[in-house]
Amino acid sequence: MSDTGSRLVLAFDFGTRRIGVAVGNELIASARQLEPLSARDGIPDWNRVTRLVEEWRPDLFVVGLPLNMDGTESEMSLRARKFGKRLFGRYGVPCEMVDERGSTREAKAIARESGLLRNARKSYRDDGVDGIAAILILESWFARQEGLPSR
C-alpha cells in the first residue's frame, strides 16, 4: 500500500445498468474517467472489475452513496453499500462511501456544456456522464481529505 497522501484510488458511481469509474491519485488530487462498467441489476462483470484492480492496483475504493436530498438512505444507497462491501470482500481493498447527492445532475450539466449532450431528451447512455459522475465523487473525496468543502 502506498503512503497516505499518495494513494491510488478507484472511484465508482454505482448504477443498476452502468457503473461509472474514475481513477485518481490522492497526492495530486487528480482524477480521470475510465470506461464505465455495464451492470445487470447492479451487478457488474466481476472479471472486468478484476482486470481494473489488477491494472491499477488501488489502495482504496470510493463508492458514491446516493442518499435522498434530505440525507436519508434510499434503496439505491443500500445497493451501493452492498456493492462497496463486495469490492472489499473480493479484493481486500478498503472502501469508503461518499455522499454523491447532486453528482449526476452536475455531471449532466458538464456533459451538456462540453457538447457531449446535445439536448435534454437525449439518452445519456453513451455520453460519459457515468464517468464524469465518478470523477466528481472522487474529487469530493479528495476535498474531504484536504479539509475543503466538497462541491
Q: How far apart are CA 54 and CA 48, in angstroms?
A: 10
**Nearest alpha carbon to residue 86 among 1, 2, 12:** 12
Domain contains 150:
no
Domain contains 3:
no
Domain contains 72:
yes
Q: How far apart are CA 21 and CA 138, in angstroms?
A: 10
CATH value at residue 62: 3.30.420.140
Is 88:60 a contact under the CB 8 Å cutoff?
A: no
Angle between helices 103-113 and 129-145 (to 10 degrees): 120
Instruction: Record the pTM.
Output: 0.84
pLDDT digits (tens, 9 = 90+) for 71-117: 999 999 999 999 999 999 999 999 999 998 877 777 777 777 776 55
Residue range of the domain that includes 77: 8-145
Which segment of 7-11, 48-52, 129-133, 137-141 scores lowest on mean pLDDT?
129-133
**Alpha-carbon distances of 84 from 42, 123, 148, rounded to whole Å:** 12, 27, 24
